[in-house]
Structures are given as C-alpha cells and as structure tokens.
Amino acid sequence: MSQQYYFSKFLVTSQVIYASKYSFALVNLKPILPGHVLVAPKRIVARLRDLSKEEIDDLFESVQVVQNVVEKAFGGTSSNIGIQDGPEAGQSVPHVHVHIIPRKKLDFENNDDVYVHLEKNEATMNSEFDSNSAIAKDGLPKASMNRIIPKDEDRAPRTMEEMVKEAKWLASLFKEDAHSC
C-alpha cells in the first residue's frame, strides 16, 4: 500500500482494510464485538459538518460496502452504525469516523447496551492508541465465534500484530474492483 493513512494524528496504514477516493476503513483498537470497524474520511476533520458533499457521499458509500463485508465475515445479520460527532457527543479522537458493529441475535442481553459500550469505547480510544498491554488472542476471528461481551474494564486494546492480522484477512475479502487495499 503506497498511501499512508492517518486517523487523527495516528498512523494506521497497516490497520486499513478498505480505501475509496475520499475514505478508508480500519480495524478497531478495542472492538465492542468481533468485526467492529471504523470508516473515516481521508481528510482529517473533526466534525461531519466539515466534510464536502463529495466526501460525505463517499464516506457513506464506503460504510455500505464495508458493512456488507464485515457482516458476512463475522456472521452478522444486522449492524449498528454510529457516529459521535463532537466531544460532547462522546467523540474522543478529533477525526470524523463511523463505527460499524456487526450484530447477531442475542449478542447483548439488552440490545441497547451496545450504545453504553460504544460510548465507553470512544471515551478511552485516544489514550489507548499507543498501549501495548493487550491480551493476546490466537488465530483469526471466525463467523461462528461466540459473542460473549467482556466487561469494559476487561477489554484491553489489541496488539498491533492482532490488528494487522485481522486487517490483512478483511482486506482480502473485498473485491479488486472495490478499491481494496
């Protein structure tokens, strides 16, 4: 991949799974559920309102493409798609980004608990980007993976090695004509 990708000030090129003209998708440092990824514009702006019409169109077309792939890859039957637009809305990294979280029936006991986890995830994301304290996991995620949600305090950030491995696997699932990485 010749282009470098930044999520705010963080170089994330090796975590990128998809790129379009104005957007890119990357694996998440602390996924709430398996397959939780982010889609962001290439231009670093803090708020959705700061994007041009072309960037917004491309961002949401990219969300749709990425959603289809991660749902299939992780056996999802639905997805949560969310944006925290500004610090008071829970955004901790000042770069517009869309969360895509593939969902399955009963992956949360109370379906709306995903929003509580999303808010906690966003609140700790910026401070944990450089952390090396992740718990190692073996192998790639599988579509049949049991979705047991650990308590937020038990969800450690993933290692770079884990994220790169997942990114390579997911990137391979995009068709060549879809601008995959």
C-alpha 97/C-alpha 39 separation (Å) is 5
Residue whose pair of structure tokens reads 């000042």 in the numeric block: 94
The dihedrals phi and psi of 143, each to the nearest 5 degrees, come to -60, -30
Point out the annotated binding site for substrate.
28, 84, 90-93, 99
97 catalytically annotated: yes
- In the numeric block, which tokens belong to residue 131? 């952390």
- In the numeric block, which tokens belong to residue 142? 């599988």
Residue whose pair of structure tokens reads 């879809």 in the numeric block: 178
Point out the annotated binding site.
28, 84, 90-93, 99
Candidates 29, 109, 18, 14; CA nearest to 68 is 18
What's the one-letter identity of residue 160? Answer: M
Whether residue 82 contacts residue 98, with contact meaning beta carbons closer than 8 Å, is answered with: yes
Catalytic residue among 36, 95, 97, 117: 97
DSSP state of 130: T
Residues belonging to the active site: 97
